[in-house]
Structure 1
Amino acid sequence: MIATAAAYHAIPPPALDRGRDVSVLVLAVDGSILRGFLSADGKWRLPVEPDQVDPLYRRMLVAAEDARFAWHLGVDPLAALRAAAQLAASRRVVSGASTLTM
């Protein structure tokens, strides 16, 4: 427990501005796209609001990535225990306990 707390404080959090690197769109007066530019890393990154994402896609994402997402507070204790048991048994990382960030 102490090692976990120490690791939590030793590992820096991700940069808060990493989600702000988005593609630039030049729009016409009517809102249609005239020109688009890739983000600095060469990818299309377009900001969207949660209600703009297809609900079916959101359900599929949660089902594939973390089916118990609605039942824990951001850390899945069952996944953490599973990952710890696999690490102890094989002495190497087999799986993790990461979850979704919304």
Structure 2
Amino acid sequence: MTAETETSQTAPTSGCCGGGACGTGAADVQLGGVTAVYQVTGMTCGHCEGAVAGEISGLPGVTSVAAVAATGRVTVVSEAPLDESAVREAVDEAGYELVGRA
């Protein structure tokens, strides 16, 4: 698995991510943020997504979280790169398992 994280000072030009990286596995660029995608096991529904997103969103510097049970992917946008052990602890607290970066 590889970690793909990018930073940028420019906003997307159109669509959710400027039409460039959606669905490709590449990190989306957010205005002044860092995007990381994690793989989480055990999520099966919207409640699971909410539990994981809720715990991760409580981490300092996190500005948005999108969890997708169908793929097990959790996309996190933060002000600075997050410590993976803190993300792992948050996912564990929600009752799921962080596999690592997607």
TM-score (norm 1): 0.23
Q: Which has the higher contact order (CA 8 A, sep 6+)?
A: 2
- Larger strand percent: 2
The two structures have a TM-score, normalised by structure 2, of 0.23
